[in-house]
Structure 1
Amino acid sequence: MPRPGPAREADLRVLRDDGHLATALGRLTGDALPPLLPTVTGAAVTLVLLLAGLGEVSGITLFAPAAVLLLSGVAAGHPHDGRFDWMAPPVLRATEYLYLLALGHQAGVPGPLVYVLLTTVALHHGDVVHRTRWAAGPPAWVMRAMLGWDGRMLLVAAGGMLGWLPFTYGLLAGYLTVLLVWETTTSWLATPVTTAGEPPRNGWGGVASTPQT
């Protein structure tokens, strides 16, 4: 069975890793809004809100995911075929990582717990990029189950509002880790083993001899 070839053009909307809410907003607006400007604006607003609440978990800090969702989510339905639209997914990645790191630090979440959550999310993003390059995008159910950047950020913000931030980080990290390991393992087990490159066998199962030249 031949290996799949690399995809000629990756669908950047898959690399965005949008969750349910961002996808719904994108459907409402369609392709009317180019993605780069609102995504960069959302990242800038997040940075400002994090700096405004520096050193503490405040309402203004926890508002950041909603602001990013409203600014960047509305462009989720755009085909991302512009010259610089490829920059939108990396900006979203950086925004999510910054928010999870800064909020965990401000709330006193144990460092190893923050590291595990960030590592799991980064591994998920790396897996999506690798699969997309080989024209074998991740299953739709996995993308939905991973909650998307908007779902993860909003869940952490909700945990902060309830005063359960360390618990939320631990719960989210555990859930994403189990899901990622389970899906990766089942995908590997379901991959057919190719016999290309193996030496030819004779009728008794041994390696067939080749004529000398």
Structure 2
Amino acid sequence: MATDAPHTPEPRVDVRFLRDDGYLGDGLGRIVAGAVPPLLPMLGGVVVTATLLVAGLGQDSGITLFAPAVALLLSGVASGHPHDGRRDWIVPPILRGTEYVYLLALGHGSEVPGPLVFVLVAAVAVHHRDAVCRTHCGVRPPTRAIRARLGWDGRMLLVALGGVLGWLPFAYGALASYLVVLLVWDAWTSWLAAPVATVTLDSRNELGGVDASTT
């Protein structure tokens, strides 16, 4: 009687890689050396950020544009935690969703052209999707490529800086172009670095095709 093949457990996904923290988030995490669980700081930052967005981000100007991004940095103190809790897996998608909402709300409230807002949010989403696919395949891009994405904190703060300087449409367009070029370059270099499999063709087709063996 045939026996079932032994089940090989899938490798555990490192949730910290999916957080997409930038330099500031990583720096805050190193200060506390992973001692802070990620869920509560993230929820606190998201609640404050959402409150500021609902209060009317589009009517804000100057330094107040930084408030939602700075509030979300509360979650950065937990970036060094191993994220091995039962519900810690929800941290990355909530951080990503908050970044999307911030970019959409700021762009819409400040009358940034819709195509620019769409391209920027789409570029960020594709980078996030790329990170998820690589993680599930057990492949991580080089550290320099991860750092080049700037992290959710870096992207939000750069857009806020563009709003403070009165260059918000330019900031959206420049950041979107940078992320698209980075995505294409990363994909191109990854394809070139991938090993080429050698395919051996067998002249005998044992599945019953036109060249099936007759012996």
Q: TM-score, normalised by structure 1?
A: 0.88
Post-superposition offset of 1:138: 1.9
Residue of structure 1 in register with 2:21 after alignment: 18
Per mean C-alpha deviation after superposition, the further-off stretch among 47-56 and 125-134 is 47-56
Aligned pairs for 1:90-101 (under 5 A) are 90-101=93-104
1:135 maps to 138
Aligned pair partner of 2:170 in 156, 167, 170: 167
Q: Would the alpha carbon gap of residues 211 and 7 (structure 1) be closer, same or farther in structure 2, given more than 3 Å must change?
A: same
SS of structure 2 residue aligned to 1:63: helix
One-letter amino acid matched to 1:82:
G
Question: Residues 65 and 164 of structure 2 are in contact (CA less than 8 Å); yes or no, is this contact kept in structure 1?
Answer: no
Classify 1:7/1:161 alpha carbon distance in 2 versus 1 (closer, same or farther; 3 Å): farther
In 2, Cα distance between the equivalents of 1:46 and 1:68?
6
Deviation at residue 200 of structure 1 after TM alignment = 3.6
Q: Give the residue type in structure 2 aligned to 1:41.
A: G
Shift of the 7–147 alpha-carbon distance from structure 1 to 2, 3 Å rule, reads: farther
Q: CA deviation at 1:54?
A: 4.4
Which of residues 42, 54, 64 in structure 2 aligns to 1:39? 42
2:66 partner amino acid: L
The answer for the alignment partner of 2:195 in structure 1 is: 192
Rounded Cα–Cα distance in structure 1 between residues aligned with 2:128 and 2:10:
17
Equivalent in the alignment of 2:106: 103
- 1:81 equivalent in alignment to 2:79: no
| Amino acid in structure 2 at the alignment position of 1:64 | P
Map Cα deviations across residues 103-156 of structure 1 (whole Å, 9 max, x no partner).
000110000000000000000000000000011012211110000000000101
TM-score, normalised relative to structure 2: 0.87
- Corresponding position: 1:178 with 2:169: no
C-alpha change, 1:49 and 1:61, in structure 2 (3 Å) is: farther
Q: Which residue of 1 aligns with 2:148?
A: 145
Name which of 95, 116, 120 aligns with 2:123: 120
Letter of the structure 2 residue corresponding to residue 25 of structure 1: L
State the alpha-carbon separation in 1 of the partners of residues 161 and 113 from structure 2. 18
- TM superposition shift of 1:43: 1.2
| Other-structure match for 1:206 | none
- Paired amino acid for 2:85: G
- What amino acid does structure 2 have at the position aligned with 1:212? T
| Cα contact 1:46–1:67 (8 A) shared by 2 | yes
List, as ranges, runs of 4+ consecutive aligned residues in structure 1 with deviation greater than 6 Å: none
Unaligned runs of 5+ in 2: 1-7, 204-210
Partner AA of 1:115 in structure 2: F
Aligned residues of 2:162 and 2:171 also touching (Cα < 8 A): yes
